[in-house]
Amino acid sequence: MISAGRLRYSASVLQPSGSTDALGLRDSQFAGNRTVRCELTQLSGSEVEYAHGATEMNLWQVRCRWPDIARCQLTTASRLSVRGRTLRITQILNTYEADRVAVLLCTEVT
């Protein structure tokens, strides 16, 4: 179970647009109007080579209630916007398969 006092932040769930371009590739735009309450913890941060230069890459853990992410239809194709950070979801874990706590492992490229 997750304590309501730890869910200090509100995260906006951004879903990928369903449109495609002239080549049939998915459009890179995200939009959303749903929010979930969450706990945000930074796990690591490092400088890496990325797109012809060095950038900072951070790994975040986001914990929230499982029914909330099920309601928002959150998948690994979705993005989260928390405290001005846009996080790409890499894993969604259902803690103990109990359908109560969801642990999302996310990356942020700054």
| pTM for this predicted structure | 0.83
Per-residue pLDDT at 45 exceeds 70: yes
**Domains in the chain: ranges and CATH:** 4-109 (2.40.10.270)
The token duo for 38 is 């969450």
3-state SS of 32-47? EEEEEEEEEEEEEEEE
The per-residue pLDDT for range 64-89, each reduced to its tens digit, is: 999 999 999 899 999 999 999 999 99
Distance CA 42, CA 100 (A): 22
DSSP 50: -
At residue 95, what are phi and psi to the nearest 5 degrees?
Answer: -60, 125
Distance CA 21, CA 2 (A): 42
